[in-house]
């Protein structure tokens, strides 16, 4: 049996990723939506290059693209309690920002889910990026490469 629940091709998985992205865009500060998106996005490599025989291909593709390293770090950090030595792109993730009361803001602002980057990812995307912006970049990547 290949796939599950009628997901059988990389294109099927990409369509699932599109649905996860729509959920994240609707609730960009919902941690569950962000985690679901990045775990699904990390799985795109498994769908495009399936099986144990393609492990080296998946690693080479991931290692050649800082965006995919960020996706991998976020997915892995979402599933495991400890940071692993091979996580080289994500320094920290969470709700960052300040509380503003009044002034130019009509409502209090408590921050947005963001990712603090390091290494090649920080050089390419800057030191900090909103999770939803990373998701947009990820969707653009996979739309070209599925």
b/e burial code for range 37-63 (CB count within 10 A of at least 16 → b): bbbbbbbbbebbbeeeeeeeebeeebe
Calculate the dihedral angle through the C-alpha atoms of 37, 42, 45, 51, rounding to the nearest 10 degrees. -120
Longest alpha-carbon distance in the chain: 60
For the chain, the average pLDDT equals 85
Mean pLDDT value across residues 9-29: 95
Distance from the first to the final alpha carbon of the chain: 22
Mean pLDDT value across residues 48-63: 95
Mean pLDDT value across residues 11-20: 96
Interatomic CA distance for residues 7 and 75, integer angstroms: 20
Residue 57 in this model has a pLDDT that exceeds 70: yes
């Amino acid at each position: 049996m290949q796939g599950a629940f009628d997901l059988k091709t990389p294109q099927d998985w990409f369509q699932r990723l599109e649905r996860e992205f729509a959920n994240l865009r609707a609730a960009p500060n919902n941690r569950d939506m962000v985690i679901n998106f990045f775990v699904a996005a990390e799985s795109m490599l498994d769908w495009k290059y399936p099986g144990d025989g393609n492990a080296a291909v998946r690693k080479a593709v991931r290692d050649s693209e800082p965006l995919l390293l960020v996706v991998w770090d976020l997915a892995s950090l979402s599933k495991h309690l400890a940071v692993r030595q091979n996580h080289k792109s994500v320094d920290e993730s969470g709700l960052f920002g300040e509380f503003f009361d009044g002034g130019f803001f009509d409502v209090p602002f408590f921050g947005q889910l963001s990712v603090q980057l390091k290494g090649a990812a920080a050089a390419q995307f800057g030191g900090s990026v909103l999770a939803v912006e990373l998701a947009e970049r990820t969707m653009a990547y996979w739309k070209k490469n599925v």
